[in-house]
Chains A and B, each alone.
Chain A
């Protein structure tokens, strides 16, 4: 089981002080959070990709490359990489490069992006979002697996005899997660390729995502990648902890009340009852997070949103210390419950081993 943090990279005013970080401060805070994630024993740091204020992370592989040099164990990932508006050729190159620099500690989560104006800035149209995600990923998938690619599609100029460089480390492409909150097409896409499916279920009630994830699991089995239970599932989470539950609620409430997305809407109490958000003691976080497995089955990756809504870096780092105490308990519980035939979260090493095993099987068959 892999645990980590994912960050949107928003620049948000701290509602308790009226102060917003500068872009420079926020970017440095994000990498400080990444370093801290490794220090407290987490497995994954994932950054969003955005091309509009108030967000800073427009260039994820630059940030992740910097973090690769400052960490030794952490998997560097994204949440999400925009497969719709980025050229799949550049995604193939950027992440292969990052993979080499990070000695394989890289995977990525693809998403469509939900901000209409961003599409035309990159020459695309949001109404074609699904088609773009399908065609662009199909090309990306080939670029990492075929040394020479001829390609013609609807959305980019054709390729003749094109080789994406560098080639993936050890001939094994980075693992791909497909993130979606509502589209069966994306769950279908993830299932077709045997890729992971990440449901960022932090803003909506559980039953919606139960349908989406069980659909992905069924289709994963349909395409012959394993049983539904063996499909690779990731989930979001959102927590704020203090040793004492009441202290957590008191401290987090102004951030909740003014947060982007849900601020000025439901009360903290309503939202925690209806969504995965947990504000309370470490034990409450453990209890709530363990319900995810009951709802969605054994899963491979749990990412927490820890640094949004204007929380100051010092607070976020304290939160990560607490998360570092919570995660070993969750890891022990979830690993113990996971049946032996359900895979652990994918790593470069596990993918290399699987690829070698496949090659041996093929050789034996000949």
Chain B
């Protein structure tokens, strides 16, 4: 493993996971806006990589069946687990994340997002569904021991624009929430990098070969 570069030389990467199924998709639109808001509030040069799960749908199911990712999915997994922050956006289906979104996180090693700053967001028909973010999506990332930012962003159909003047304010409110959530994620990334550089080695996936138990200890432990 190469020694850590100083913070100033380190490029931040933000991985965006979007599980929208239609094309174009409002979920992707929300994801793009969240990524832009986050990048704006991080130093210049921040890299954003966007992963459309729709393009990986077959690979994800195959991974569930075979236990290993095909090359394209493997690259996506490495981009997500190796990023400084993750923005995870799903359309709501039957009161929760869609199956594709869940299946992607199911094929990750369950400790690969530990401590990772994550911004969660969702799209749905009406604001009635917005608490699915708190009841379904945040617990998923709590299980994965990721660090979710306090603001979760929900966008309903009318957030994208409405014929009614009285509801027109909704759009600007969404913009404000996106900005706030992006700021929270950016702050977490910066803070995390600062801590890393000053105190901790970079987060890496657990390496079973680097931390193996010698046999005499295995034998004694029985």
Number of B residues whose C-beta is below 8 Å from A? 18
Q: Which residue of A lies closest to B218 (CB)?
A: A134
Looking at A134, A185, A203, A265, which has the most chain B CB atoms within 10 Å of its CB? A265
Bound CA span A266–B66, Å: 8
Known contacts being A184-B208, A184-B212, A265-B61, is A189 close to B218, with CB within 8 Å? yes
**B68 x A208 contact (CB < 8 A):** yes
Nearest Cβ in chain B — how far from A278, in angstroms? 17
Q: Residues 274-307 of chain A: 1 if any B CB is under 8 Å from the residue's CB, otherwise 0?
A: 1000000000000000000000000000000000
A175 at the interface (CB under 8 A from B): no
Query: Can you offer 11 A-B residue contacts whose CB atoms are under 8 A?
Result: A138-B219, A138-B222, A188-B214, A204-B67, A215-B212, A265-B66, A266-B65, A270-B62, A270-B70, A271-B66, A274-B68
Q: A204-B66, A265-B61, A266-B66 are in contact. List 17 more A-B contacts (CB 8 A).
A: A131-B221, A134-B218, A134-B219, A153-B222, A154-B222, A184-B208, A184-B212, A185-B212, A188-B212, A188-B215, A203-B66, A208-B68, A261-B66, A265-B62, A270-B62, A270-B70, A274-B68
Nearest Cβ in chain B — how far from A215, in angstroms? 5
B213 at the interface (CB under 8 A from A): yes
Interface positions of B from 198 to 215, Cβ below 8 Å from A: 208-209, 212-215
Nearest Cβ in chain A — how far from B215, in angstroms? 4
Interface residues of B (CB under 8 A from A): 61-62, 65-68, 70-71, 208-209, 212-215, 218-219, 221-222
Bound CA span A138–B215, Å: 11
Bound CA span A153–B220, Å: 11
**B215 x A192 contact (CB < 8 A):** yes
Determine the chain A residues whose CB is within 8 A of the CB of B212 once the complex forms.
184-185, 188, 215
Q: Which residue of B lies closest to A263 (CB)?
A: B65
Which single member of B65, B68, B71, B213 contacts A185 (CB below 8 Å)? B213
Determine the chain A residues whose CB is within 8 A of the CB of B70 once the complex forms.
266, 270, 274
A344 at the interface (CB under 8 A from B): no
**B65 x A264 contact (CB < 8 A):** yes
A205 at the interface (CB under 8 A from B): yes
Looking at A154, A191, A204, A274, which has the most chain B CB atoms within 10 Å of its CB? A274
**B65 x A262 contact (CB < 8 A):** yes
**A188 x B219 contact (CB < 8 A):** no
Interface positions of A from 25 to 53, Cβ below 8 Å from B: none
Q: Residues 143-171 of chain A: 1 if any B CB is under 8 Å from the residue's CB, otherwise 0?
A: 00000000001100000000000000000
Known contacts being A138-B219, A270-B70, is A188 close to B65, with CB within 8 Å? no
A243 at the interface (CB under 8 A from B): no
Bound CA span A228–B9, Å: 40
Determine the chain B residues whose CB is within 8 A of the CB of A188 once the complex forms.
212-215, 218
